[in-house]
Amino acid sequence: MSECGAMPDTERSERRERLLVEALRGEVPAHVAIIMDGNGRWAESRGLPRWEGHREGAKAVREAVVASLEVGVRQLTLYAFSNENWLRPATEIAALMDLLVEYAASEVEELRERGVRVRVFGDLERLAPEARAAVQRLEAATGAGEKMSLNLAISYGSRSEIARAARRLVEQALAGALRPEEVDAERFARELYTAGWPDPDLLIRTSGEQRVSNFLLWQIAYAELLVTPVLWPDFDQTHFFEAVLEYQRRERRYGRVEV
């Protein structure tokens, strides 16, 4: 992916339009999932505290939502806070939680107007009551949105999600409501947080790390993986459309066989 940080505004917006038009000509991934990484490095490379990177990262979330709406992505799933993130210093956790609360308050109207439904998934019991209430208010206020779903993974880890699904199935079996032979992949998926959602078609990870970091391990079974060196706070609409174009190139190369 190209870096266009030094481009003048008009040139950047022309380039953005060009990429959007090009992306709209091909098959757009219905579901894009993103591991938003590199906020800390973005801040540190500027001599700023890490929370400044997260704040810029929240602006990039807005870019990704707008880009998704424009290109016709129906589901955008973002890894906003992992189970492992609970191990970070308390001040950084607090800054991330404050950002979530701020985001929920500042974006709710626009998300609702644009027809974006927000869904939050993960172990929300671990959130401070204020943060939990804020994201739940955001879900409730945007619940009627039909254009796109913005799915925020918060206090999320895929292994815990899978273990939770197994536990739920065992409970149903012990209660006599489920026979072991009824458990197959489809039945299992119905116990995940993502029950009923289509699997991601494209998984993007920013900042160059080539890992999946316990994100949607079950759901990304067939996703195209795209790692970009761009740090998350720099990831703008142009980068998003470039990712869609890269997905389309791969689709053409490995296109499904019509039967």
Among residues 83, 85, 199, 214, the one annotated as catalytic is 85
Nearer to ligand FPP, 37 or 201 (CB): 37
Residue 85 annotated among the catalytic residues of the structure: yes
DSSP 104: H
Residue 98 annotated among the catalytic residues of the structure: no
Tell me the sheet residues that pair with 76.
Answer: 32, 150
- Neighbouring residues of 42: CB distance < 8 A, sequence distance ≥ 6: 53, 56, 57, 231, 232, 233, 234
58 counts as binding ligand FPP under rule CB under 6 A: yes
State the nearest-atom distance from the C-beta of 93 to ligand FPP, in Å: 10
User: In whole angstroms, what is the distance from residue 183 CA to residue 51 CA?
Assistant: 44
DSSP 87: G
State the nearest-atom distance from the C-beta of 217 to ligand FPP, in Å: 18
Strand locations in 111-188 (E): 116-121, 148-156
Match 């609970």 to its residue by tokens: 86
244 counts as binding ligand FPP under rule CB under 6 A: no
User: In whole angstroms, what is the distance from residue 254 CA to residue 157 CA?
Assistant: 30
Stretch that binds ligand FPP, among 92-100, 161-169, 234-242, 245-253 (CB under 6 A): 92-100
85 counts as binding ligand FPP under rule CB under 6 A: yes
Stretch that binds ligand FPP, among 34-42, 116-124, 137-145, 214-222 (CB under 6 A): 34-42
Nearer to ligand FPP, 101 or 165 (CB): 101
User: In whole angstroms, what is the distance from residue 216 CA to residue 77 CA?
Assistant: 10
Footprint (CB under 6 A) of ligand FPP, residues 97-136: 99-100, 103
204 counts as binding ligand FPP under rule CB under 6 A: no
Nearer to ligand FPP, 78 or 202 (CB): 78
Q: Write the burial class of residue 37 (CB in 10 Å: 0-12 exposed, 13-18 middle, 19+ buried).
A: buried
Nearer to ligand FPP, 39 or 158 (CB): 39
What the block records as the tokens of 148 is: 């796109």
Distance of alpha carbon 127 from its chain centroid, rounded?
19
- The number of C-alpha atoms within 13 Å of 72 and in the hemisphere containing its C-beta is 10
Q: Which of 40, 122, 145, 200 binds ligand FPP (CB under 6 A)?
A: 40
Match 């799933």 to its residue by tokens: 77
State the nearest-atom distance from the C-beta of 59 to ligand FPP, in Å: 9
State the nearest-atom distance from the C-beta of 42 to ligand FPP, in Å: 7
User: In whole angstroms, what is the distance from residue 75 CA to residue 149 CA?
Assistant: 5
State the nearest-atom distance from the C-beta of 36 to ligand FPP, in Å: 4
Q: Is 81 helix (H, G, I), strand (E, B) or coil?
A: strand
Nearer to ligand FPP, 155 or 248 (CB): 155
Q: Report, as residue numbers or ranges, the catalytic residues.
A: 37, 85
- Contact residues toward ligand FPP (CB under 6 A) are 36-41, 54, 57-58, 61, 78, 80, 85, 96, 99-100, 103, 152, 207, 232
